[in-house]
Every structure is written in C-alpha cells, then in structure tokens.
Amino acid sequence: MLFNSYEFIFAFLPVTFLLYFYLNHKNRVQEGKLFLVLSSLFFYAWWNPIYLPLILISMFFNYKMGDLLLKSSDKKILNSMQNSLESETLVPNNTRLKPSVPSSARSLLIFGILANLLLLGYFKYSDFFIENINSVIGSDFKPLHLALPLAISFFTFQQIAYLVDSYRKETHEYDFLNYAVFVTFFPQLIAGPIVHHKEMMPQFETNSAKKINPHHIAMGIFIFSIGLFKKVIIADTFSVWATTGFDVAQSLNLLEAWTTSLSYTFQLYFDFSGYTDMAIGVALLFNIKLPTNFNSPYKATDIQDFWRRWHITLSRFLRDYIYIPLGGNRKGTVRTYSNLLGTFILGGLWHGAGWTFIFWGFLHGMALVIHRVWSSFGIKLWSWVAWIITFNFINISWVFFRAKEWDDAIKVLSAMFSLDNVVLHSALESRLTALNIYGVEYGKMFDNIGGDNSTAIWIVAILLSILWFKNSIEELKEFKVIYRTATITALTLSMGILSLNKISEFLYFNF
C-alpha cells in the first residue's frame, strides 16, 4: 500500500488511527499494540502477501537472538567489574575500559548478523552473483528471478542494529509484542528511517502517547501534505523527463543530457524527501516522533556535509556498524581512507545489486577521501564555489545510480560533456550564425526527452526553492496553527489528492 493512494489516505489510515486510540482509551493497551502490529502487517501484505511469512520469520528469529544476547551476561556484574578496575591506581579515573563480553555472546552476534545478511543476499543478490559467475568462468547457471521482498533492506538493517545494540547491552526488550511494534510500525516499515529500539519504543510507553493529541494531528497533517505534494506534483513530473532521457531517447544533445541528469537529481530528492515527510507526518498522528532523515542535502558545501543531510539514519548505520568497527579513523591515515572507501562501496551495494550502484558508492567513497586530504591542507573555498563543486559531483554521480546499464550512463554523461552536440533555440539562429562553424545547431530543444523550453525554467525554479526556502523539517520545528500553515496544508493536500490518479511507487521501495 502506498502513502500516495486513495486506499491509504481515505481508508487504512483513518480506520487504523481511530481503532488504535479507541482501544487505548478503553485501557486496552496491549490490544492496541496488537492491533497496530496487525494493521502494519496488513499494510505490508497489501503489496504481496506471499512475503508476509518472511518478515514474520525474520522478526521471531531476531527477537529470540536479541533475547539470548541480552541474557548472555549480566550488565550489573560488568559495571561492578569496571568500577573496581577504576579504583585501582594503575587505571586513570578518566579511563573507561570496555568490559569483556563472553565469547558465546560474540558468536551469537556473528551468527545473527550472518543469518540476516544471508536472507538479504539470497533475495537481493542471487541473480547478480550468478550473472557475474557466468561471466567470469563461462558457466550457464540459470538466474533465480526472485522478486525483491518489499522493505527487506530496511527491516534487515534495523534488526541487525537491534542485535548489535543487544550485544552492547543497550536494549531492554523482553516482550515480543513490543518488538513487533518496533519492527513493523507502518509509517517507517517500507523505506525507513532506520530507527534504534531505544529511540522509538519508550515513546509508546508514555501516557501521553496513548491519547489523541490535536497539536500532533495538526503537525502530522501539515508535513504529510507537504510530502504528498513533493511526491505527486514535483517528483512525478521530473520522473517523466528522467525516464525518457535515460530509457527512451537513443541520443541526447548537451542541453537535453543536462536536463535528463538534473531531472533525476530532483526526482530522487523530492521523491525521498516526500516519503520522509509523509512517514514523519503519519507517525506524529500516533504521537511518535521519528528521527530526522533528510535535511536539505543539496545545500551541502562538501561531500561530508551531504552525507550528514541525506538519508541520515542510513549514514548513521554505515558509520556505527561498518566504518567504526572496521577501525574508523583510529588506525592511521591509509586505514582511514580504506575504511571510508569500503564503507561506501558496501553502501552502494546495499542500494542495488549492480555494478553501477557499486561504482556510485566507490565515487562517494573517493570523494570523502579527497575531502579529507583537502581538509588536511587547511585550504578553504568560497562557499558558493564549494557548493557548485559538491552539487555537480552529486548530480553526475546520480547518473550511475539511475542508469539501468553502463551504456545508459555513458550515453547521458558523454552528451553532458560533449561540445559537438550543442543545440540552441531557433530564435537565436539569425543572431548567432557564426557559431555554426563550431558545430552548433538550431532547432527545438528537448525533442528527445519529450519536454519543451519551459523545462529549463522549471529546473532553475526548483533549484532556487531548494536553496533559499526553509525545508519542511525546519517548518515543522516552528509549527503553529495559524492562517499561513492552514493555507499551506489545504493547498498542498488538495493538489496532492487531485493528482492521485497518476500513482507511482516511491523510488526507495526498490532498495
């Protein structure tokens, strides 16, 4: 089921909201949680019920593994040992020693992580692995052609984080129903954010969370409406131009190529930003505040700043559960660079089973390495120069992220940087005739991508709005029920609902 559908907006969401708070109002809290879990599983199964047992098995397995990890050693004993060691003169008072964890707990953690990765790998990477084996050794193994289960990347990573946190004694969960709420809560089930148990579940336990909160409802509808507008009005408009340029057009001139790449850059931005806003808005209706996952990433003036703003919870996961365990920046410069590169190559692979995704991750890893090297010299660029470099790198790297095949990426990139395919508007022909000798042609631009001359104006207007206006999260922090916010809500919600006849999936559903 999609957030941007009549079924969700007019049936599923209001029914779930009303029945959940009715049960809480009657002090049937456990029944309320159970109803929320069942509703979330129904929401998940709407796409394809055949994979419902998969998420259930994954939940049962990881809950049991987390329970075993929590019981593998006594945290009080470990803390007592730590305090005892700190009292010794050989240990400075400001030094924290990492308590030893039984090897059985470490083995359990490794087993749990491997089981999750094998499940993810089987469904997401089997065909990719088979195709590459066939290519390398000339074999003829048949692809499995498995459909990718919805949200498998997200609920797998979320549960891996839970296992690691349990190993570190940072979770306290002995109730499967609570754990099921944590995994399946439908506003964040399909495409994140990737949340920690400790940042979401305590919210469900407060008395205020069990009562309808009019202010949260107003905030939720406000940001949900903005997200719906971003998705169905802006992102889906750009998707037409991006799809035609990447998948349909046989060739592109320079302006068409830049229009194609920028169209996808903005499609992905507003698609993911729209989903994030809608997820935050729906969660607020249930008095749950999800972590910020998107914060104007195209305002970034360096690549590190970009990854602090784009898919923030995924960046956090990659940092905490891959980069730091690999050694982070604690083992010398060369090791730091290799850790960065390895982390982002894995991040690229997480997004998709293809060499274009891996190369996209490699590009971002290299960009972070170059940024660190540059920063070590202490040289500062003007902020506008830094922004131009950062934005254009991101735009160019998205070409590999979007392209279905290498040839599609080369088609767009070669046209973007070729000076022998410049086409100007026919109105300029009489004034710029001399440019003919340089290969410049005149005619109607954007023929190949199905747009018109207003496309460029639309792209510039969108870019300026991204750079100059507050984002939705900033608006939410300052939210008040006033005429302005009511007007914004009414306009964006009505325009979004009127455009639901062209429903399309969110891009991150594919990852």
Low-confidence ranges of the chain (pLDDT < 70): 73-103, 173, 420, 424-456, 503
Give CA–CA dist 202/131, Å, rounded.
Answer: 45
pLDDT given for residue 446 in this prediction: 59
> Tens digits of per-residue pLDDT, 98-134?
444 556 888 999 999 999 999 999 999 999 999 999 9
pLDDT above 90 as % of the chain: 59
pLDDT given for residue 459 in this prediction: 77
442 phi, psi to nearest 5 deg:
-125, 140
Give CA–CA dist 470/75, Å, rounded.
Answer: 45
Give CA–CA dist 189/494, Å, rounded.
Answer: 26
pLDDT given for residue 252 in this prediction: 85
> Tens digits of per-residue pLDDT, 437-482?
666 666 665 555 655 556 667 777 888 888 888 888 888 888 888 9
Cis peptide before 193 (omega within 30 of 0): yes
Of the candidates 297, 288, 226, the one whose C-alpha atom is nearest the C-alpha of residue 268 is: 297
Which positions are annotated as active-site residues? Answer: 351
Residue 171 CA, distance from chain mean position: 24
Of the candidates 353, 361, 400, the one whose C-alpha atom is nearest the C-alpha of residue 246 is: 400
Give CA–CA dist 70/346, Å, rounded.
Answer: 28
Number of H helices, E strands in the chain: 22, 2
pLDDT given for residue 263 in this prediction: 93
